[in-house]
A and B are shown apart, each in its own frame.
Chain A
Amino acid sequence: MNSTTEAAPALPDADRVPAHAEGRVPGRGKGKPGKGKPGRATRSKPRDQHKQSFGSRLRRDKQMLLMMVPGIAFLLLFFYIPILGNVIAFQDYQPYLGIGDSMWVGWQNFVDLFANPDFLRAFWNTLYLAAWQLVFLFPVPLVLALIVDSLISTRVRRVFQSIAYLPHFLSWVLVIALFQQMLGGAGFINNSLRQFGLDPIPFMTNPDTFPVLVVVQMIWKDAGWAMIIFLAALASIDASLYEAAAADGAGRWRRMWHITLPGLRSVIVLLLILRIGDILSVGFEQFILQRDAVGAGAAEVLDTFTYYTGVVGGGWSSGAAAGLAKGVVSALLIYAANKLAHRFGEDGIFAKKVG
């Protein structure tokens, strides 16, 4: 689940490509030499697939099926079975009894949760921080990409990209450590302030400014990386459109409004949907690392609540209930966002058949 969230910026198109590639008719492949003829349409198998019996296909594919075994085993062990494990949210789960013998309590865990002020605060914090992220975090990579795309010098471009992508590959622990060394109570900036006889500023420990800190950290770490997908989309906009518009007298801003932004529309919508589906995960490691410094009042989110209630506190069932509530709400959000995207005439994520 970690690697999934990490690579999020490049996802949307990633799961659309197979659909594209497969939909390609043989004739279109010819335009791109060297790429071969991708897609199933060109393959010799599909036509006689209808004729072959299940048994003979099984025999033909047995090595391929064998290759799927490790992956399927992984999916079952670490994805599908744990999903079923969520039933303990409806139980009074006791580790020594196991799932089979623990008592069923129905919705009681959820009822208790929503009467629990700690949970409500975590819920509220999550929404609050998510809103901050959506408003202030989402546009930054887009703006950066527009700036980088407008650079004429390829060298400046390359240098900036090399620097901007780097923090994406640093762990959150490292990022927080670096921030602490810069902004912490004994950090570089506060040290310098003291030397000038000024009062230190509690950047890292002030609960009121915590959302700002979180968003700044996220921008620092991932804005550069998230820029990639916008850059790729910008590069795919036909330059002759700009040229024609300029010839017709459109200025810089008109060109951006009428060519650039429409050209980016589907990418923006896709990223937004994925972002919304992920929004309740606000950033787990980031919070768990800073919860002690800022206090649970500001830094407790649904994920940390799940962790501290379930794993640390031993309240397995309430932890699982909190986790499940979050999962269900996220799924609903994805669904709603996707519906909205369809309403705006975009593909969203489910429109194309995948696989």
Chain B
Amino acid sequence: MAITQSAGRILPGRKPKELNYNPKRPVWKERPSPLYQTIKTLVLVLFSASIIVPILLVVSTSLADKEQLAKAGGFVLWPERPTLEAYETIFNGPMVLNSLGVSAVVTIVGTILALFVTITMAYATSRPVLFGRPVVLAVLFTLLFAPGLIPSFLMIKELGLLDSLWSLILPGIFGAFNFVVMRSFFMNIPQELIESARIDGASDWTILWRIVMPLSKAVIAVVGLFYAVGFWNSFFNALLYINDHSKWPIQLLLRNFVVQGSGAADGLGISSVPPGQSIQMAVVVVALVPILMVYPFLQKHFTKGVLTGAVKG
């Protein structure tokens, strides 16, 4: 730091503009060469564009009207006369609404259960408790291995959960990673708070509910959002366990009608089809929007919640 400051004092004679002098750049850091600067900018711009353009394209096309679509040959980057026709069409058929409902139920019930299981387990093992250590080791063990597809499938079958929404919920209600994040957060809660509550006669459940959880709102929010995104996005469990069309979550619907493109019209239960392109796009957008809606919260909290919990070491 000393060098930085003294060098700063030597430099003021130079005119900032001529040097392209950036006050935030540490003095010891040389200006990047034009070539390096160009490559850097190019990488960042291309990477960002590759993410933004497809999303913009899909949203715009779903909103575009027939004439513009026909003129543009299938895709538009900006809808000139935005119309919700495509959305009206897909919501008139039963399938999309139904799938959204299934996904919503699975996501909400799943997230609540997942938070319950994760919080209790993380709290119970965050303090020196009988059997705490073997349980933690058992959980961490699950990080490294997976039981395998066929045995998991047979388990769900044995439990009689095939074709039931529980088969989409139960396998996802505990994640080892989320457990680790939650537990390391709980371990950093001042022990004095817990001890004093205990001396006052509070039970462990009361301590968890009245002291630990209010202090952990940020991490609970992050872990909850992770679970919610996981449930909303999961598609493979549905492919494995659900045959009944009326219980398809939105991701499976998306896969069957957009990715595999099997007759959108009859599959979605829609009679008249405006431009097929915008129908497909509308289904994509419907699956995308909830994620875009929670993303600002996710982004705001995950560095705080997850990184303080996990990367601090």
Q: CA A301 – CA B215 in complex, angstroms?
A: 45
A107, CB-defined interface residue at 8 Å? no
Residues of B231-282 contacting chain A, CB below 8 A: 232-237, 239-240, 251-252, 254-255, 258-260, 280-281
Interface stretch of the complex, out of B10-18, B46-54, B88-96: B46-54
Q: CA A349 – CA B144 in complex, angstroms?
A: 10
Task: Judge whether B144 and A164 touch: CB under 8 Å.
Answer: no
Q: CA A133 – CA B187 in complex, angstroms?
A: 36
Q: How many residues of A contact B (CB 8 A)?
A: 127
Chain B residue, CB-CB nearest to A324: B148
Q: CA A143 – CA B152 in complex, angstroms?
A: 38
Which listed residue, A67, A165, A194, A243, touches B299 by the CB 8 Å rule?
A165
Knowing A243-B3, A327-B148 are in contact, say whether A15-B140 is a contact too (CB < 8 A): yes
Q: A5-25 toward B: CB 8 Å interface, digit per residue (1/0)?
A: 011001101111110111000
Residues of A within 8 A of B216 (CB): none
Knowing A178-B55, A310-B150, A320-B148 are in contact, say whether A67-B204 is a contact too (CB < 8 A): yes
Residues of B within 8 A of A147 (CB): 40, 43-44
Chain B residue, CB-CB nearest to A154: B24
Residues of B within 8 A of A292 (CB): 260
Residues of A within 8 A of B179 (CB): 71
B9, CB-defined interface residue at 8 Å? no
Q: CA A46 – CA B130 in complex, angstroms?
A: 11
A265, CB-defined interface residue at 8 Å? no
B83, CB-defined interface residue at 8 Å? no
Which listed residue, A40, A229, A284, touches B128 by the CB 8 Å rule?
A40
Chain A residue, CB-CB nearest to B123: A67
Task: Judge whether B177 and A11 touch: CB under 8 Å.
Answer: yes
Q: CA A177 – CA B24 in complex, angstroms?
A: 42
Task: Judge whether B142 and A164 touch: CB under 8 Å.
Answer: no
Task: Judge whether B54 and A182 touch: CB under 8 Å.
Answer: yes
Knowing A174-B287, A195-B73 are in contact, say whether A85-B128 is a contact too (CB < 8 A): no
Q: CA A191 – CA B73 in complex, angstroms?
A: 7
Residues of A90-130 contacting chain B, CB below 8 A: none
Residues of A within 8 A of B75 (CB): 181, 188, 191
Q: CA A3 – CA B57 in complex, angstroms?
A: 29
A206, CB-defined interface residue at 8 Å? no
Residues of B56-75 contacting chain A, CB below 8 A: 57-58, 61, 73-75
Q: A129-166 toward B: CB 8 Å interface, digit per residue (1/0)?
A: 00000000000000110011010110010001011111
Q: CA A167 – CA B54 in complex, angstroms?
A: 11
Task: Judge whether B234 and A171 touch: CB under 8 Å.
Answer: yes
Which listed residue, B24, B52, B55, B204, touches A63 by the CB 8 Å rule?
B204
Residues of A within 8 A of B173 (CB): 74
Q: A281-321 toward B: CB 8 Å interface, digit per residue (1/0)?
A: 10011001100100000000001001100110000100110
Task: Judge whether A311 and B149 touch: CB under 8 Å.
Answer: yes
Residues of B279-303 contacting chain A, CB below 8 A: 280-281, 284, 287-288, 291, 295, 298-299, 303
A198, CB-defined interface residue at 8 Å? no
Q: Closest approach, in angstroms, between the C-beta of B138 and any C-beta of chain A? A: 6
Q: Closest approach, in angstroms, between the C-beta of A245 and any C-beta of chain B? A: 8
Task: Judge whether A4 and B176 touch: CB under 8 Å.
Answer: yes
Q: CA A173 – CA B4 in complex, angstroms?
A: 50
Interface residues of A (CB under 8 A from B): 1-4, 6-7, 10-11, 13-18, 20-22, 35-40, 42-46, 49, 54, 57-58, 61, 63-65, 67-68, 70-72, 74-75, 77-86, 88, 143-144, 147-148, 150, 152-153, 156, 160, 162-167, 169-174, 176-182, 186, 188, 191, 194-195, 220, 223-224, 228-229, 232-233, 239-240, 242-243, 246-247, 251-252, 277, 281, 284-285, 288-289, 292, 303, 306-307, 310-311, 316, 319-320, 323-324, 326-327, 330-331, 334, 349, 354-355
CB-based closest 3 A-B pairs: A36-B190, A85-B151, A71-B121
